Amino acid sequence: MAQSKHYDLIVIGSGPGGYVGAIRAAQLGLKVACVERGKLGGVCLNWGCIPTKALLHGAELYQEAVTHGTEWGINIDPSAVSVDWDKVMGRSREITGSLNNGVGFLFKKNKIDHYEGHAKITSGRTSATPCTVEISEADDDYYSGTGGKNSGTLTADNVMIATGAAPNELPFPRAMARRSCRATTHSRSPNARSPWSSSVPERSAWNSPTSSTRSAPR
C-alpha cells in the first residue's frame, strides 16, 4: 500500500452505513477511500439481513410444502423429505457473495479506493495537519479485532466511522446459551447443522415469537 496517500474522506467500515456514505461522498465529488477489515457489505450483506432471509425462505418453502401441503391438496410424506443442509447454506452464501462483489463493483465505478485491513485513527485533524489513519492486517475476530502488523498509513481531511455494533452476551442459563449463536458463527460454519428455528440469531430489534433466540438491543 502506498504510504500516506491523502483523501478528502476515509470511511472506516463498509456495511450499509459505510458503503452508502462512501458512494454518496464520491458522487458529490470527494476523493474517497474505504477501509474494511472483513467482507464488503458488513453484517447486513454478509451475515445478517440478506443471508438470514435466504435461510428463512428455505424454511418457509419447507413448512408450506411439508406442514401445510395437504391443506392445498399437495400430499407430501414428511418421512420421505430430506433437507440438504449444505445446499441450503451454500445458496445463502452464494447470494451474499454476489452482493459482496456488487459493492466492490460500485466502489470501482465511483473511483473509491478499497483498503483491506483494520483501521485505527492515530491522530485527529489540526489546523496544520490532516487526520491520520493507520491500517493493519485484520485478525480473525469479527467484532473485537484490534489488527495485527501495520500495513500502512493514510491521511484525510475527514473520517467517517461506520464500524457497526457488536452483539451483547446475554445472561441466559448455559443450556440456553448453547442453543444460540452469532450470525457470523452460524453462517461461516461449514458444518452447521442447526434446526430451522435457530437460523435467525441476533435479531436485535426484531425479536419474534418464533425465534428461538432473543437478543438485547444492540
Ligand X SMILES: Cc1cc2nc3c(=O)[nH]c(=O)nc-3n(C[C@H](O)[C@H](O)[C@H](O)COP(=O)(O)OP(=O)(O)OC[C@H]3O[C@@H](n4cnc5c(N)ncnc54)[C@H](O)[C@@H]3O)c2cc1C
Give me the residues that bind ligand X (CB under 6 A), please: 12-18, 35-38, 42-44, 48-49, 52, 118-119, 162-164, 183, 200-203
Q: Name 176's Cβ contacts closer than 8 Å, sequence gap at least 6.
A: none
Instruction: Using alpha carbons, list the distances in angstroms from residue 179 to 38, 199, 215.
Output: 26, 11, 13
Task: Report the SS3 class of residue 19.
Answer: helix
Cβ of residue 147: shortest distance to ligand X, in angstroms? Answer: 7
For ligand X, the closer of residues 69 and 145 by Cβ is 145
Task: Report the SS3 class of residue 20.
Answer: helix
For ligand X, the closer of residues 51 and 130 by Cβ is 51
Cβ of residue 16: shortest distance to ligand X, in angstroms? Answer: 4
For ligand X, the closer of residues 48 and 58 by Cβ is 48
Q: Outline where DSSP puts E strands in 162-205.
A: none
Cβ of residue 196: shortest distance to ligand X, in angstroms? Answer: 14
Cβ of residue 154: shortest distance to ligand X, in angstroms? Answer: 12
Q: Outline where DSSP puts E strands in 125-191.
A: 131-136, 150-161
For ligand X, the closer of residues 92 and 130 by Cβ is 92
Kindly state the cell numbers that stand for 211.
Answer: 425465534
Bridging pattern class, strands 150-161 and 5-12:
parallel
Phi, psi of 157 (to 5 degrees): -75, -30
For ligand X, the closer of residues 52 and 180 by Cβ is 52
Cβ of residue 158: shortest distance to ligand X, in angstroms? Answer: 16
Distance (Å, whole) CA 73 – CA 169: 45
